């Protein structure tokens, strides 16, 4: 019988096949950049939690990797005899093992009891946290720890960092004792079922489905999909919600290809996507697009931001996970057709907000439309900046009044077979302007990579040469974003650029 870790049991809870693959074919797992970022956020929050729960530095951190599991379990048992906080305390019982983020002493008369705290980098308590805490508390109690309670500490996204390394208030606790202490039988049955899954040498016959993204994106998705027949033109390309009749038809007839959907169940946009897929012919209502954009006269500006967010804020006055812009590109198209670009990029590691806001206000002039692609993102960042920088609020908010979104224009008037159901600028640009493509960029090619590059650039371990290289990559990437908008605008408007 295998000893199952909590993470293996949670893998089982998501999908028995995931557990089987984790154990027998871990090499097939490919975690996405988002998953890796969430691991990194978890480590950072864990470090801060240790400071918060042990302000006097009296606690002990158990490093099971360095010590080995057996030594870690034995040391935990010894440490439980004295009242100090223990971090990464290890427990083993009933064929399972777990390491607690924090276990804190509680005096009960002359007895020593313990309270467990699980620390998460999420901003609220999720359903799967209950399962996670049920497993933790079950294993600890089964290994005879006098546990009187368990709480989940998550990030309070409304908290504002006061600076100076003071993180009091970053975490918010929710007590889960009542919700999870009586779930021992359930946990025990999960362990037994998981053991059964692992007792066979055959991979469980489970198809990909909703479970692959819930509660986490499964790292085996690419592998599992590669084992299943894939639709040539999948239904996921259809935009918008599926109405009841459409869903019922798909279910009843097991439809997987767009071409097999009856038009009568589709709305206009869905019918268009299906027709383009089936015919291979691009849809482009250029007159409609031009009419839509006609009221917005030159001079015009084309604006794009890159942002960074930290689970644990590093700049005074910012909140956890607040998106803070560190870079912009603005193209300016004058009435005489001259196109110019201005860029801002701060890789100093200091809060870029004030300089960013000042430079943006200067770059956008005082009249003319400001085109963006998916306006909600940029306008929200501008509102955030206006809130944090009241002395610049008026000129910042005035920019938002001039914003015109190109995304709805693309959605309404253009669709190319290669877009495969996406109207992201990275899908529309190479279809409409084949001479431009994000894939041709060196290094940074998307917003996630821009964030990673920013983090690397501001690290004190990064060499000047590498920082310079990142700077060039970021500048080229953001410039392409706004130049792409210029080209899309010209194509939609039927204008020829100089």
Residues that bind ligand SF4 (CB under 6 A): 14-15, 17-18, 21, 206, 208, 211-212, 218, 220-221, 224
CB closer to ligand SF4, 224 vs 432? 224
Closest CB 160 distance from ligand SF4, rounded Å: 38
State the nearest-atom distance from the C-beta of 198 to ligand SF4, in Å: 14
In whole angstroms, the minimum distance from the beta carbon of 426 to ligand SF4 comes to 24
- Cβ-based nearer residue to ligand SF4, 216 or 284: 216
For ligand SF4, give the closer residue by CB, 83 or 215: 215
CB of 405 vs ligand SF4, minimal distance in Å: 35
d(CA 132, CA 127): 9
Nearer to ligand SF4, 201 or 268 (CB): 201
Comparing CB distances to ligand SF4, the nearer of 231 and 398 is 231
Cβ closer to ligand SF4: 17 or 332?
17
Shortest Å distance, C-beta 220 to ligand SF4 = 4
In the complex, least distance from residue 154 CB atom to ligand SF4, rounded to whole angstroms: 24
Q: How far is the CB of 192 from ligand SF4 (least distance, A)?
A: 20
Task: Report, in Å, the least distance between residue 123 CB and ligand SF4.
Answer: 24
The CB-of-15 to ligand SF4 minimum distance in angstroms stands at 3
Instruction: Classify burial at 420, counting beta carbons within 10 Å of its beta carbon; exposed 0-12, middle 13-18, buried 19 or more.
Output: middle
| C-beta of 215 vs 288, nearer to ligand SF4 | 215
- Nearest to residue 332, comparing CAs of 356, 283, 365, 288? 365
* Nearest partner of 104 among 82, 134, 84, judged by Cα: 84
- 304 φ/ψ angles, rounded to the nearest 5 degrees: -150, 145
Structure tokens at 380: 């929200």
**How far, in Å, CA of 21 to CA of 220, rounded?**
8
Nearer to ligand SF4, 220 or 489 (CB): 220
CB of 183 to ligand SF4, least distance (A): 23
Minimum CB–partner distance for residue 7 and ligand SF4 (Å): 14
Cβ closer to ligand SF4: 204 or 494?
Answer: 204
Which lies closer to ligand SF4 via its Cβ, residue 18 or residue 402? 18
Would you say 218 or 330 has its CB closer to ligand SF4?
218
């Amino acid at each position: 019988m295998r000893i199952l870790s909590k993470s293996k049991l949670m893998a089982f809870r998501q999908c028995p096949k995931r557990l089987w693959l984790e154990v027998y074919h871990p090499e097939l797992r490919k975690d996405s950049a988002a998953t890796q970022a969430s691991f990194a956020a978890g480590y950072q929050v864990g470090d801060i939690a240790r400071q918060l729960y042990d302000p006097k530095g009296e606690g002990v951190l158990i490093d099971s990797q360095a010590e080995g599991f057996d030594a870690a379990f034995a040391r935990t048992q010894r440490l439980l005899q004295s009242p100090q906080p223990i971090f990464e305390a290890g427990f083993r019982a009933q064929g399972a093992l777990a390491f607690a983020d924090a276990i804190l002493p509680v005096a009960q008369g002359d007895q020593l009891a313990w309270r467990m705290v699980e620390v998460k980098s999420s901003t609220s308590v999720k359903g799967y946290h209950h399962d996670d805490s049920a497993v933790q508390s079950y294993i600890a109690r089964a290994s005879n720890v006098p546990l009187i309670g368990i709480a989940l500490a998550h990030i309070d996204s409304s908290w504002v960092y006061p600076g100076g390394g003071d993180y009091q208030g970053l975490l918010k606790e929710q007590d889960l004792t009542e919700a999870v202490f009586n779930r021992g039988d359930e946990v025990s049955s999960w362990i037994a079922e998981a053991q059964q899954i692992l007792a066979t040498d055959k991979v469980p016959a489970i198809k990909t489905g909703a479970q692959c993204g819930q509660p986490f994106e499964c790292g085996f998705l690419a592998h599992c999909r590669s084992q299943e027949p894939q639709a040539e033109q999948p239904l996921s390309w259809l935009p918008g919600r599926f109405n009841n009749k459409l869903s019922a038809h798909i279910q009843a007839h097991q439809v997987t290809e767009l071409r097999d959907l009856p038009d009568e169940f589709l709305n206009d946009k869905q019918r268009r996507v299906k027709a383009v897929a089936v015919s291979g012919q691009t849809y482009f209502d250029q007159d409609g697009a031009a009419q839509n954009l006609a009221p917005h006269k030159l001079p015009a500006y084309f604006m794009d931001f890159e942002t960074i967010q930290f689970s644990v804020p590093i700049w005074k006055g910012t909140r956890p996970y607040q998106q803070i812009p560190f870079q912009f590109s603005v193209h300016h198209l004058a009435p005489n057709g001259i196109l110019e670009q201005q860029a801002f990029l701060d890789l100093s590691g200091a809060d870029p907000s004030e300089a960013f806001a000042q430079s943006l206000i200067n770059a956008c002039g005082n009249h003319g439309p400001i085109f963006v692609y998916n306006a909600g993102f940029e306008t929200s960042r501008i509102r955030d900046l206006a809130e944090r920088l009241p002395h610049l609020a008026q000129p910042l908010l005035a920019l938002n009044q001039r914003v015109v979104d190109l995304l709805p224009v693309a959605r309404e008037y253009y669709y190319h077979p290669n877009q495969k159901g996406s109207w992201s600028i990275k899908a529309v640009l190479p279809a409409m302007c084949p001479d431009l493509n994000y894939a041709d960029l060196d290094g940074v090619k998307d917003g996630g990579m821009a964030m990673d590059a920013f983090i690397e650039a501001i690290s004190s371990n990064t060499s000047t040469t590498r920082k310079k290289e990142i700077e060039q990559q970021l500048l080229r990437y953001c410039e392409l974003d706004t130049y792409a908008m210029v080209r899309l605008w010209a194509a939609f408007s039927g204008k020829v650029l100089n």
